[in-house]
């Protein structure tokens, strides 16, 4: 027996219904924000990903060679491919460009609970604007997508890497010291941050203020603390405006400043954000994004870019954790020819119903009425149509309500009307 | 500048709209036939494909190794993965199982016009029945999918590999001789078949009858010719019944017997079929399928299986060749704040409209009215809403019809009503 590759999944029809349903809701929200869908290939030239993330990413990639011995890789994420697409073909389009996408991504991880080697992401990029309203709208979009997908319990945290860098700069830390601190900050291990700063010889009063600012959620306080830092005055005002627009114009209440969001410090710049579903525990992050720089690195003309990625699989998990009621697919009608001679006429009826966009299945195993009714029930058909010789004489069939068991004789020409 | 991998494609939003639209129509038709959607991983263990198609397929595959040095391959087609899924997890489900899917597939071809290294297929499998009505319904499904997708000019050809094998047997050819003939038959090069048979030393009267039968579209004639062949009596009757059901019950008129359909002789068995779009010239085949045997080879319990695959990209090409009018996406409203102070209120209006499932975009570049109206027009917005200080005083905005240029002052609370 052959087995599915480790870390990947098969989706049965119940799961696919849920996935298509959620994807449809997400697509609608993207479109309502004026975003337009694009798609890029499943694999790219390997150098696209090493250019963005450095050579260390190779270990996490599925890579192989093409016929000209060029190195290719299954995409680990979708921003690099979409920006490659933009630089290669879309630079002349009117700005801002609002692009969204769904796509499977691939990572060569050790499989763990809730982490797969093939996983699905939804995401978007906005290219060509860096106004506060552009960033506020982008962040609101991420929030609305998850809300409209049906999630009740989500939290939006907003940070800023330009401001965080300035905070770091005030401590005069070495690169290595910063590198040691960032994962601790990212994991909100503030006691350890405090301890490390003391080990680095930072005065206690300064390190305590720093750690307090990392945990502070009041932007006014932060502005006061950093008031002498001329470099980030504008960035600070922008951050304040973004958060004001999110609260007042987009009416997002559970949105908080969180200066300890680190993400990729080399790649992101300015505002960053994360959305989490607290119900998921340790793996609670559903979405991450912000402003970043990639266009120039990929050979395009400098222009501002921002975007986010939503973990599709984790969003579904969060919906299930919240006991979300997904709509279930029900077959409208199951047709049962009582004997072999009834088959041609039965198929003719089936064909007529299907032309009216009615979902119809038919016994294809010549099972007889009893077994067929049982099967109709097992696949949750709403009704059964029984085609027998006696009824057929008067151009009629028997229609059975599978829930109540009620049966009625209906003229063939009236079936469509009867079903509606 | 980074480039897209050779033989792959980026899809811009206009293309994605078409693709999503056609996929949606196809999905509806699959569902109306009682089929249910499934999905398998993008890659499988390499041996799955070599088991099905032999080692020669390796040259056409993108393959690579996983962390345990196991050989994986990007799927070149979807039947093997779906049958692997069935054998691994679905054998206990009530029969027949009707499964459909969409998925990208990968082939290491030299790229040519209309052939890509990453391409999309739609397809299905029916597992657990081999009645004539099951096959007729399967073939009708393929036909209806293409018809409902909007194609006007398609042709359905039906062959039978059990009968074709019997025709071959009557000539007493060697394996090598058969192997030489099949591609010629597949390409309808009947003069060359005739010539080859003479070279093989077959009597002219016999070879002429054989070649005539390959081109014969009248099943009664074929039955007459093969009347002494007891082995295929049942198969012949079945083939006749399938074709009768397609014509009489499913009302498919342009459906023809075509004994020269060869496909994979090792893999298919019994009825096979192809649907072509003559408008496409040499690359006209849109769909191929039939009954096949794979479950036992994959370690499952013997059960009949049949299915088909539709080339999604080629279907789109055929629609374009027929000048099919795809619906175009239009933005409902483009909102223009006349100055920076209008931004918060404008975003609030935008948010209210989006909650009513209206697709709204807004100027995020502070461009002013003139440029913004030009942009709104470039992205085909139906209307523009201009938010200015004077109108705002009376809780109103200006709504402009982008087609006629007509403008009207509307109270903010009445916008949704006005737009509907």
Give the model confidence (pLDDT) of B322-381 as tens digits: 999 999 888 999 999 999 999 999 999 999 999 999 999 999 999 989 999 999 998 899
CB B26 within 8 A of CB A351: no
Instruction: Supply the angle between the helices A132-148 and A13-32 in degrees, to the nearest 10.
Output: 150
Q: Does one domain contain both A240 and A343? A: no
Q: Does one domain contain both A317 and A371? A: no
pLDDT the model gives residue B375: 92
- Chain B residue numbers touching A334 (CB-CB < 8 A): 34
Nearest CA-CA partner of B12 in A96, A38, A87, A98: A38
Structure tokens at B204: 């002219």
CB A101 within 8 A of CB A38: yes
Residues in contact with B373: Cβ distance below 8 Å, sequence separation at least 6, in sequence order: B336, B384, B400, B402
User: Residue A362 pairs with which residues in a beta bridge?
Assistant: A335
CA dihedral angle for residue B169, residue B172, residue B177, residue B179, rounded to 10 degrees: 10
With 90 as the cut, is the pLDDT of residue A115 above it? no
* B1-to-A88, A232, B341 alpha-carbon distances in Å: 7, 32, 40
Structure tokens at B295: 């479950």
With 70 as the cut, is the pLDDT of residue A265 above it? no
Considering only CB atoms, B67 lies closest to which of A108, A248, A298, namely A108
Q: How far apart are CA B363 and CA B338, in angstroms?
A: 10
Backbone angles phi, psi at A318, to 5 degrees: -65, -40
A302, part of any domain:
yes
Q: Does one domain contain both A198 and A87? A: yes
* A389-to-A335, A337, A351 alpha-carbon distances in Å: 14, 9, 19
Beta strands in A29-96 (DSSP E): 36-37, 43-45, 63-65, 71-74
Domain-ending residue, one of A273, A295, A321: A321
Q: Which pLDDT band holds residue B304 (cuts at 50, 70, 90)?
A: very high
Q: How far apart are CA B222 and CA B163, in angstroms?
A: 10
Give the mean pLDDT of A199-217. 92
- Of A9, A13, A145, A330, which to mutate for an interface test with B (greatest number of B Cβ within 10 Å)? A13
Q: Which pLDDT band holds residue B266 (cuts at 50, 70, 90)?
A: confident
The CATH number of residue A236's host domain is 3.30.930.10
Q: Which pLDDT band holds residue A411 (cuts at 50, 70, 90)?
A: very high
Quick one: closest CA in A to B9, which residue? A41
Q: How far apart are CA B167 and CA B66, in angstroms?
A: 46
Q: Does one domain contain both A360 and A403? A: yes
The whole-angstrom distance between A230's CA and the closest CA on chain B is 24
A190, part of any domain:
yes
Q: How far apart are CA A114 and CA A117, in angstroms?
A: 10
B157, part of any domain:
yes
Considering only CB atoms, A249 lies closest to which of B6, B62, B348, namely B348
The CATH number of residue B398's host domain is 3.40.50.800
Q: Does one domain contain both B298 and B165? A: yes
Q: Does one domain contain both B401 and B277? A: no
pLDDT the model gives residue B420: 86
Q: Do A39 and B106 touch (CB under 8 A)?
A: no
Q: Do B108 and A300 touch (CB under 8 A)?
A: no
DSSP, residue by residue, B101-143: EEEEEE--PPPBTTB-SEEEEEEEEEES---HHHHHHHHHHHH
Q: Does one domain contain both B166 and B312? A: yes
Quick one: closest CA in A to B35, which residue? A361
CB A91 within 8 A of CB A103: no
pLDDT digit string, tens, across residues B73-123: 999 999 999 999 999 999 999 999 999 999 999 998 777 777 899 999 999
Q: Do A31 and B329 touch (CB under 8 A)?
A: yes
A5, part of any domain:
no
With 90 as the cut, is the pLDDT of residue B288 above it? yes
Size of the A and B interface in Cβ pairs below 8 Å: 280
pLDDT the model gives residue B55: 87
Domain-ending residue, one of B288, B321, B354: B321
Q: Does one domain contain both A31 and A164? A: yes
Q: Do B129 and A104 touch (CB under 8 A)?
A: no
Give the mean pLDDT of B16-32. 97
Alpha-carbon torsion (A402, A403, A407, A413), positive or negative:
negative
Quick one: closest CA in B to A377, which residue? B94
SS3 A364: coil
Domain-ending residue, one of B298, B321, B344: B321
Segment holding B269, helix H or strand E: strand B268-276
Residues B147-171: b if buried by 16+ CB within 10 A, e if exposed:
ebbbbeebbbbbbbbbbbbbbbebb
Q: How far apart are CA A399 and CA A245, in angstroms?
A: 57
* A8-to-A13, A22, A102, A106, B91 alpha-carbon distances in Å: 17, 20, 18, 10, 20
The answer, yes or no, to whether the previous bond of B96 is cis (omega within 30 of 0) is: yes
Q: Does one domain contain both A298 and A395? A: no
Considering only CB atoms, B245 lies closest to which of A347, A354, A360, namely A347
A327, part of any domain:
no
Structure tokens at B297: 């080879």
**B289 vs A52, more confident:** B289
Contacts 24+ apart (CB under 8 A), A315-319: A315/A22, A315/A122, A315/A146, A315/A149, A315/A151, A315/A277, A315/A286, A316/A18, A316/A19, A316/A22, A317/A114, A317/A280, A318/A151, A318/A154, A318/A277, A318/A279, A318/A280, A318/A286, A319/A22, A319/A149, A319/A150, A319/A151
Quick one: how far is CA B284 from the chain centroid? 13
Q: Does one domain contain both B176 and B234? A: yes
pTM value? 0.96
pLDDT digit string, tens, across residues A21-70: 999 999 999 999 999 999 999 999 999 999 988 888 888 999 998 878 89
Q: How far apart are CA A44 and CA A145, in angstroms?
A: 28
B328, part of any domain:
no
SS3 A411: strand
Q: How far apart are CA B356 and CA B333, in angstroms?
A: 12
Q: Which pLDDT band holds residue A326 (cuts at 50, 70, 90)?
A: very high
DSSP 8-state secondary structure symbol assigned to residue B282: G
**Domain of A356, in residue numbers:** 333-419
* Percent residues over pLDDT 90 in chain A: 83
A373, part of any domain:
yes
Q: Does one domain contain both A294 and A373? A: no
Q: Do B42 and A104 touch (CB under 8 A)?
A: yes
Residues in contact with B159: Cβ distance below 8 Å, sequence separation at least 6, in sequence order: B257, B258, B259, B260, B261, B262, B263, B271, B272, B273, B274, B290
Give the mean pLDDT of A122-144. 98
The answer, yes or no, to whether the previous bond of A115 is cis (omega within 30 of 0) is: no
CB B387 within 8 A of CB B397: yes
* B319-to-A96, B25, B38, B154 alpha-carbon distances in Å: 32, 13, 26, 11
- Chain A residue numbers touching B48 (CB-CB < 8 A): 2
* Percent residues over pLDDT 90 in chain B: 83
Q: Does one domain contain both B291 and B355? A: no
Q: How far apart are CA B202 and CA B213, in angstroms?
A: 16
CB B236 within 8 A of CB B244: no
pLDDT digit string, tens, across residues A342-358: 999 999 999 999 999 99
End-to-end Cα separation, chain B, in angstroms = 46
Considering only CB atoms, A251 lies closest to which of B8, B345, B351, namely B351
The whole-angstrom distance between B4's CA and the closest CA on chain A is 6
Q: How far apart are CA B65 and CA B52, in angstroms?
A: 20
Least confident of A83-87, A162-166, B119-123: A162-166
Q: Give the mean pLDDT of chain A.
A: 94
Q: Which pLDDT band holds residue A338 (cuts at 50, 70, 90)?
A: very high
User: Residue B335 pairs with which residues in a beta bridge?
Assistant: B362, B385
Q: Do A31 and B358 touch (CB under 8 A)?
A: no
User: Residue A126 pairs with which residues in a beta bridge?
Assistant: A98, A306
A281, part of any domain:
yes
pLDDT the model gives residue B265: 66
With 80 as the cut, is the pLDDT of residue A380 above it? yes
Quick one: closest CA in A to B111, which residue? A67
Q: Count how many domains chain B has.
A: 2
Beta strands in A199-301 (DSSP E): 255-257, 268-276, 285-292
pLDDT digit string, tens, across residues B199-257: 999 999 999 999 999 999 999 999 999 888 888 999 999 999 999 999 999 999 999 99
Q: Give the mean pLDDT of chain B.
A: 94
């Amino acid at each position: 027996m052959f087995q599915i590759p480790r870390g990947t999944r098969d989706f049965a029809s119940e799961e696919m219904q849920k996935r298509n349903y959620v994807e449809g809701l997400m697509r609608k929200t993207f479109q309502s924000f004026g975003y337009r869908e694009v798609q890029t290939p499943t694999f790219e030239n390997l150098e696209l990903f090493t250019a963005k993330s450095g050579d260390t990413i190779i270990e996490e990639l599925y890579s192989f060679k093409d016929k000209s011995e060029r190195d290719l890789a299954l995409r680990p994420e979708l921003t690099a491919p979409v920006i490659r697409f933009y630089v290669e073909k879309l630079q002349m389009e009117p700005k801002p460009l609002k692009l969204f996408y769904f796509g499977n991504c691939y990572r060569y991880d050790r499989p763990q609970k809730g982490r797969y080697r093939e996983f699905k992401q939804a995401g978007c990029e906005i290219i060509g604007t860096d106004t506060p309203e552009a960033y506020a709208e982008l962040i609101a979009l991420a929030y609305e997508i998850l809300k409209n997908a049906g999630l009740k319990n989500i939290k939006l945290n907003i940070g800023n890497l330009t401001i965080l860098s300035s905070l770091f700069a005030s401590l005069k830390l070495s690169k290595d010291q910063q590198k040691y601190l960032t994962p601790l900050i990212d994991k909100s291990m503030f006691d350890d941050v405090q301890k490390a700063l003391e080990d680095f010889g930072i005065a206690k009063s300064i390190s305590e203020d720093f750690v307090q600012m990392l945990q502070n959620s009041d932007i006014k306080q932060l502005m006061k603390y950093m008031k002498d830092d001329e470099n980030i005055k504008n960035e600070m005002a922008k951050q304040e405006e973004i958060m004001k627009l999110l609260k007042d114009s987009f009416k997002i209440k559970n949105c908080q400043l969180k200066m300890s969001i680190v993400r990729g410090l080399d790649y992101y710049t300015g505002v960053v954000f994360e959305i989490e579903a607290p119900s998921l525990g340790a793996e609670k992050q559903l979405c991450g994004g912000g402003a970043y720089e990639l266009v120039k690195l990929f050979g395009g003309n400098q222009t501002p870019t921002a975007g986010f990625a939503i973990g599709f699989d984790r969003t579904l998990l969060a919906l299930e954790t919240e006991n979300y009621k997904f709509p279930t697919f029900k077959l409208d009608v199951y047709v049962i020819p009582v004997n072999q001679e009834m088959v041609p006429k039965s198929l003719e009826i089936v064909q007529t119903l299907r032309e009216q966009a009615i979902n119809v299945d038919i016994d294809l195993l010549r099972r007889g009425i009893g077994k067929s009714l049982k099967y109709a029930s097992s696949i949750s058909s709403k009704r059964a149509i029984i085609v027998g010789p006696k009824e057929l004489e008067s151009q009629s069939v028997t229609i059975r309500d599978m829930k109540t068991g009620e049966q009625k004789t209906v003229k063939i020409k009236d079936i469509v009307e009867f079903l509606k």
